[in-house]
Amino acid sequence: MTPPSGRRVRHPRAQHQFLARTCSITGVGSYVPHRVLRNADLEKMVDTTDEWITTRTGIKERRLAAEHECTSDLATEAARRALQHAGVSPEAVDLIIVCTITPDMPFPATACLVQARLGATRAAAFDLEAACSGFLYGLEVGQQFVVSRTCETVLVIGAEKLSSIIDWKDRNTCVLFGDGAGAVVLQHRPHSHGLLTTVMGADGTKADALCMPGGGSRHPATPESVAARLHYLRMDGRETFKNAVTAMHQAAREALERCGLGIEDIRCIIPHQANRRIIDAVAERLGARPEQVFVNLDRYGNTSAASVVIALDEAVRSGRIQRGDLVLLVAFGAGLTWAAAIVEW
């Protein structure tokens, strides 16, 4: 994908100057539910073992929302924490983008529900759906509003209650996913490069590899669609794994090349937390050192659009990322979609 005219921003190390108003992440926050579902608990639910799950995925536990919690609840709490970190009041937010595949309902947008709960009375609001790549898609969309001066403050949220669409009888998928939310505040910060570049892509010919067939206009809810279990997530694991490694590696490489950077220039790599073998394969192809890669998959599982931003928040709060560091974010999801971004923190 070619950046919009005037937006090709290269890092000063490559002896280039940024050409447009920049967009920085000025605040980050996350929220995960309190309930912990461990592999030992899953052993009592389906035919699986802790050893099988850990060996094939790297996941030890995941968080599940309570029955009364919905995606907007998770998103609102993450947003509050991001706004607090940025020192920004809800009334100052101009736009809210919620990236999710598990909205509270088909409409209105979950972002509108979050806007009301935050008291962000000035903000426009909409949802964005790109599955596990959603947060990085939302990051690029949000920064366009900032660099164009349409908005001063944009809130981008990745939030999922995946437990609501998981088939708890399918041992191949129910062990993988968890619930959670993360959010960032986007603003122009003087004398900072902020978001350097974003690479996005999609291949709709492989849409069936990871999908939820029911609930839309193709298979609306009927007694027959429910009986056929069409309203649960379905995944071709082998096809997804193969495409994820290739797409994430290529997107990350393209992002580095656009900025004139090598992998050695990156302080922290935050990949989508889907599978430890995918993360390791992408890191190896990039030539990354193990200490460059941030992983929290073992504690949260795959939280789809929330994955990268939850990990980003934890990396910042643990001191893994400091002001001025270069951070590589990379993700892959249903669609099939993929994205990578490089941020100067």
Neighbours of 342 (CB within 10 A): 25
Q: Can you spell out the DSSP letters for 14-35?
A: GT----S--BEEEEEEEE--SE
**Torsion-angle region of 153 (φ positive above 0: left; ψ -120 to 50: alpha; else: beta):** beta
Omega of the bond leading into 176 within 30 degrees of 0 (cis): no
Does residue 24 contact residue 189 with C-beta atoms inside 8 Å?
A: yes
DSSP assigned state of 204: G
Give the residue carrying structure tokens 């849409």: 207
Rounded Cα distance between 98 and 123, Å, is 13
272 is a catalytic site residue: yes
Residue count of the chain: 345
Catalytic-role residue among 39, 243, 296, 302: 302
Q: Pull the structure tokens for residue 177.
A: 């996913």
Distance CA 18, CA 10 (A): 6
β-pairing, 154-161 vs 95-99, is: parallel
Rounded to whole angstroms, the Cα distance separating 91 from 9 reads 31
174 is catalytic: no
Three-state secondary structure call for residue 268: strand
Helix (H) or strand (E) holding 299: helix 297-300
Catalytic residue, candidates 112, 259, 272, 275: 272
132, 151, 174, 259: the catalytic one is: 132
Q: Is 219 a catalytic residue?
A: no
**For helices 134-147 and 307-317, what crossing angle results, to 10°?**
70
Angle, helices 110-118 vs 71-86, to 10°: value is 50
**Residues known to be catalytic:** 132, 272, 302
